[in-house]
Structure 1
Amino acid sequence: MGKVLIKNAKIVNEGVIFEGDVFIDGEYIVEIEENISPKSGDCLVVDAEGNFLLPGIIDDQVHFREPGLTYKGDIESESRAAVAGGITSFIEQPNTVPNAVTQEILEEKYGLASDNSFANYSFMMGATNDNLEEVLKTNPRNVAGVKIFLGSSTGNMLVDNQATLENIFANTKTLIAVHCEDEATIKANLEKFKEEYGDNIPAEAHPLIRSTEACYISSSQAVALAKKTGARLHVFHVSTAKELDLFTNKIPLEQKKITAEVCIHHLWFSDEDYKTKGNFIKWNPAIKTAADRDALWTALLDDRIDVIATDHAPHTLEEKKLPYLNAPSGGPMVQHALVAMLENYLRGKISIEKIVEKMAHNPAKLFQIEKRGFIKVGYHADLVIVNTAKPWNVKKENILAKCGWSPFEGLNFKSRVTHTFVNGNLVYANGKIKDVRKGQRLLFDRK
């Protein structure tokens, strides 16, 4: 790790775009000026060529499958795909095998990442119906938060004991992140479709089984419980228009006790796409209607939704080709999330400043991540250069996720990530990953 000078960049930071240079010494940004001269002969000079320089993307929800499910993905393979997509920090979920529901298992995951991750990392502590004592040991300084599945998904970590939930909400000192889908509603809907279709339920039924009502019942209960207990609640992957009234844009993010996230697939696809993509866009919660998608965009732009994430959740091609009832939910997304959002920027749907706010600044603020998410002197040099006029096609040969497929396969993106820096290290440049696994454990500035 030495000195790096990034020249001729359009720097995007805190709602402003300005032309300038960034000088990195070691892992930190030490100077941001209009025209910086190289400091010495050992300084790597990277010419941004008038392209955008963004703070590294912080993805607050991924499933990298290690330990226990590494045939689908692992920390090395998925963090490699992440940095190729401009994601420099990730927060991974506890539904690995074994589930991360003890402090010992949680720390083992951190150990795996310290050896293998290209990106910075944190891991959520998992809650169950009977591990409150372990949950309360979670260190708010070096763990992102506690994850609660209020609807079953991959890993079978459903928490449905009301007394336990209230206890966790009332006593947890860190942020609580929730997956909200009402189990009873889903089961009742599923039985109706089984009666009609037997085992041959079409993928188009997914948003009707994991319905708007299932989402709203669960998320409204979680929000009510957070208000009752004063818990710091973050609702993952909001997918319906109906849920959006649960969130506010009347106060600054830093003052919010209840926040919301939306995922790339819920902003991109609609239920019309099940006809052609089937299980390859089967996620939990389900992708809903075009009207829901439009409402999510409105809420994202008016700040009721605070963060954009991926819910990157790889499964093998063979698994996703199974009949609907047997095919698992989830898919790979980290490599293509930023370029997908830049496609929307080029279409005039969102500004690049807003993309940076929702994908870098706000995750850092929301989780209180120390010295990341901004292009500032004294901050870690997690940086991404993007060229918005360099088209490329998503195909099997350039997909880096271990599962080897993408719901974006065959699509042409107009933008591409050209360089990614993690802690001052150039880890990705012009289509090539550099074998520099220098990701660090995220720290949180919590009082």
Structure 2
Amino acid sequence: MSSSLILNAKVINEGKIEELDVFVKDGKIDKIGKDLRHLTADNIVDASEKYLMPGVIDDQVHFREPGLTHKATIESESKAALAGGTTSFMEMPNTVPNALTQALLEDKYQIAAQSSWTNYSFFMGGSNDNYDEAMKTDLSQVCGLKLFMGSSTGNMLVDNEKTLENIFSNFSGLIATHCEDEGTVRANLEFYKEKYANGVIPYDIHALIRNEKACYLSSSMASSLAKKHGTRLHILHISTGEELELFDNSIPLADKKLTSEVCVHHLYFDAEDYKQLGTKIKCNPAIKHNHREKLLAGLLNDKLDIIATDHAPHTIEEKSSDYWNAPSGLPLIQNSLQVMLDFYAKGKISLEKIIEKMCHAPAECFKIDRRGYIREGYWADLVLVDLNSPYTVSKENILYKAGWSPFEGKTFGASVCKTYISGELLYDEGNFYNKKSGKRLLFNR
């Protein structure tokens, strides 16, 4: 493996920003110091005026492989992640077939081993009838068990109370949940279908169909089950201010049994944006009216622990259907870090907090082995960013297989310059070096 010496970088790590040199050898961070110019390296980078950070860890993505590869592949979406500064991802089980057996789960790992640009892990899926398979999950090699406590595809809606009690009382690892109350959503759907049966459908009814009540009912049920059984629960993509009351920010993250995540699109968009973007920002849970400032406040006061994307691509043809038929989900991972750096430029969040929520916290929540920090002895997943290099999203630079982004035409103030995966420089100023170095994430459990 090649060695690298990064000089004069403004290193953002563990609540501080310091100008430091970083020496990378054999895939890991070998030395961090004030003056390491005397060291010999295969590659030397002068990072003056640029910021060096740990690679982003995205704990919720949908890369669509196997079975839905007309939308995306592990190769295409991990390449987009790489260009955006995300060095590790955790992917969801609602591919085709659903990852509901250990054999099907392992199939996904085998695909990633051959094609992923970045580090990877895959959630085991839970259903109403795969309890025995779920309990076989190797917690040292699998990020967790995913439960859809709300609408999903295939056989993945888990709504049987006995099944939920069994899983929450007996699964010893992390359970991640999608929380929307199915009964509420269905009742709202029927109401609005009747209301707009003969008229023009306003896209923001998505925020009314999948409303605050649906989210809170399900999230509160999941948190109650977790507290009852002492379960390690992580609630994904919190989208309402009401749900913040479920989380305790008085406990250190390492000691929390109940953690939470917010996604960049729920921080960035509001239901008013449906007027311009329509079904392009249709997602579950929905982008709602007047919640993004509450969610940002919850992030800053540590009620919300992790920033992720829920990256979920569909083709533009699929998304161009009418409201009732357009699928939910949008592609985000290539620009998620830039979104947060724009929030920093507007004075809404510090650089240290961004790194805490996108890098350190996922590593802590999932107990990832030697990633998420810039520390000697840790794997060298590193990202170099220039905060004064504007970047405009266009058809020409979108790397998703689906070929579109809700940010098209948007100019971000910062650019990702270089991304290292396990010590190898794979992305460099728009160029890719096809030495795929992504590794299976391991967990200290």
**TM score, norm. by length of structure 1:** 0.98
Q: Is 1:201–1:325's contact at 8 Å kept on the other side of the alignment? A: no
Q: Does 1:283 align with 2:276?
A: no
Partner residue, 2:251: 251
Q: Is 1:66–1:109's contact at 8 Å kept on the other side of the alignment? A: yes
CA distance in structure 1 between the aligned counterparts of 2:3 and 2:165, rounded to whole angstroms = 50
Partner residue, 1:404: 403
CA distance in structure 2 between the aligned counterparts of 1:166 and 1:293, rounded to whole angstroms = 33
Task: Give the counterpart letter for 1:121 in structure 2.
Answer: Y
CA distance in structure 2 between the aligned counterparts of 1:405 and 1:432, rounded to whole angstroms = 20
Q: Any idea what the Cα deviations from partners look like across 1:353-387, whole Å, max 9, x if unmatched?
A: 00000000000000000000000000000000000
CA distance in structure 2 between the aligned counterparts of 1:287 and 1:156, rounded to whole angstroms = 25
Q: Does 1:264 align with 2:264?
A: yes
Partner residue, 1:172: 171
Task: Give the counterpart letter for 1:262 in structure 2.
Answer: V
Question: What is the CA distance between 1:26 and its match in structure 2?
Answer: 1.4
Partner residue, 1:195: 194
Q: Does 1:18 align with 2:10?
A: no
**SS at structure 2 position matched to 1:12:** strand
Gaps of 5+ in 2: none
Q: Is 1:140–1:174's contact at 8 Å kept on the other side of the alignment? A: yes
Partner residue, 1:311: 310
CA distance in structure 2 between the aligned counterparts of 1:409 and 1:154, rounded to whole angstroms = 28
Question: What is the CA distance between 1:38 and its match in structure 2?
Answer: 5.1
Q: Any idea what the Cα deviations from partners look like across 1:249-289, whole Å, max 9, x if unmatched?
A: 01100111000000000000001000110101111000011
Q: Does 1:220 align with 2:220?
A: yes
Q: Is 1:132–1:168's contact at 8 Å kept on the other side of the alignment? A: yes
Mapping of residues 309-388 of structure 1, within 5 Å? 309-388=308-387
CA distance in structure 2 between the aligned counterparts of 1:285 and 1:111, rounded to whole angstroms = 30
Q: Is 2:127–2:155's contact at 8 Å kept on the other side of the alignment? A: no
CA distance in structure 1 between the aligned counterparts of 2:407 and 2:371, rounded to whole angstroms = 29
Q: Is 2:7–2:37's contact at 8 Å kept on the other side of the alignment? A: no
Task: Give the counterpart letter for 1:245 in structure 2.
Answer: E
CA distance in structure 2 between the aligned counterparts of 1:194 and 1:163, rounded to whole angstroms = 32
Q: Is 2:55–2:85's contact at 8 Å kept on the other side of the alignment? A: yes
CA distance in structure 1 between the aligned counterparts of 2:172 and 2:277, rounded to whole angstroms = 41
**TM score, norm. by length of structure 2:** 0.99
Task: Give the counterpart letter for 1:310 in structure 2.
Answer: T
Q: Any idea what the Cα deviations from partners look like across 1:175-230, whole Å, max 9, x if unmatched?
A: 00000000010000000111111275332100100010000000000000000111
Partner residue, 2:206: 206
Question: What is the CA distance between 1:434 and its match in structure 2?
Answer: 1.7
Task: Give the counterpart letter for 1:253 in structure 2.
Answer: L
Q: Is 1:193–1:201's contact at 8 Å kept on the other side of the alignment? A: no
Partner residue, 2:133: 134
Partner residue, 2:70: 71
Larger mean CA deviation between 196-205 and 69-78 belongs to 196-205
Q: Is 1:60–1:92's contact at 8 Å kept on the other side of the alignment? A: yes
CA distance in structure 1 between the aligned counterparts of 2:152 and 2:107, rounded to whole angstroms = 23
CA distance in structure 1 between the aligned counterparts of 2:154 and 2:180, rounded to whole angstroms = 15
Q: Any idea what the Cα deviations from partners look like across 1:9-55, whole Å, max 9, x if unmatched?
A: 00010000000110000110000011112533x52111212200000
Q: Any idea what the Cα deviations from partners look like across 1:331-367, whole Å, max 9, x if unmatched?
A: 1111000000000001000000000000000000000
Q: Does 1:160 align with 2:159?
A: yes
CA distance in structure 2 between the aligned counterparts of 1:205 and 1:38, rounded to whole angstroms = 62
Question: What is the CA distance between 1:435 and its match in structure 2?
Answer: 1.2
CA distance in structure 2 between the aligned counterparts of 1:301 and 1:416, rounded to whole angstroms = 24
Gaps of 5+ in 1: none
**SS at structure 1 position matched to 2:303:** coil
Q: Does 1:439 align with 2:425?
A: no
Task: Give the counterpart letter for 1:320 in structure 2.
Answer: K
CA distance in structure 2 between the aligned counterparts of 1:80 and 1:123, rounded to whole angstroms = 17
Task: Give the counterpart letter for 2:62 in structure 1.
Answer: H
Task: Give the counterpart letter for 1:78 in structure 2.
Answer: E
Q: Any idea what the Cα deviations from partners look like across 1:34-90, whole Å, max 9, x if unmatched?
A: 1112533x5211121220000000000000000000110000000000010000000
**SS at structure 1 position matched to 2:339:** helix
CA distance in structure 2 between the aligned counterparts of 1:440 and 1:86, rounded to whole angstroms = 16
Residues 284 and 52 of structure 1, relative CA distance in 2, 3 Å threshold: same
**SS at structure 2 position matched to 1:340:** helix
Task: Give the counterpart letter for 1:410 in structure 2.
Answer: G
Task: Give the counterpart letter for 2:300 in structure 1.
Answer: L
Task: Give the counterpart letter for 1:141 in structure 2.
Answer: S
Q: Any idea what the Cα deviations from partners look like across 1:136-179, whole Å, max 9, x if unmatched?
A: 00001000000000001345511100000110111111100000
Dislocated runs of 4+, deviation >6 Å = none
Count of matched residue positions in the alignment of Structure 1 and Structure 2: 444
CA distance in structure 2 between the aligned counterparts of 1:26 and 1:317, rounded to whole angstroms = 42
Q: Is 1:369–1:443's contact at 8 Å kept on the other side of the alignment? A: yes
CA distance in structure 2 between the aligned counterparts of 1:429 and 1:252, rounded to whole angstroms = 36
Q: Is 1:84–1:420's contact at 8 Å kept on the other side of the alignment? A: yes
**SS at structure 2 position matched to 1:343:** helix
CA distance in structure 1 between the aligned counterparts of 2:44 and 2:399, rounded to whole angstroms = 27
CA distance in structure 1 between the aligned counterparts of 2:72 and 2:181, rounded to whole angstroms = 28
Q: Any idea what the Cα deviations from partners look like across 1:372-416, whole Å, max 9, x if unmatched?
A: 000000000000000000002101110001111111111010101
CA distance in structure 1 between the aligned counterparts of 2:219 and 2:37, rounded to whole angstroms = 53
Mapping of residues 29-44 of structure 1, within 5 Å? 29-37=29-37, 39-40=39-40, 43-44=42-43
RMSD: 0.9
CA distance in structure 1 between the aligned counterparts of 2:333 and 2:309, rounded to whole angstroms = 6
Q: Is 2:13–2:53's contact at 8 Å kept on the other side of the alignment? A: yes
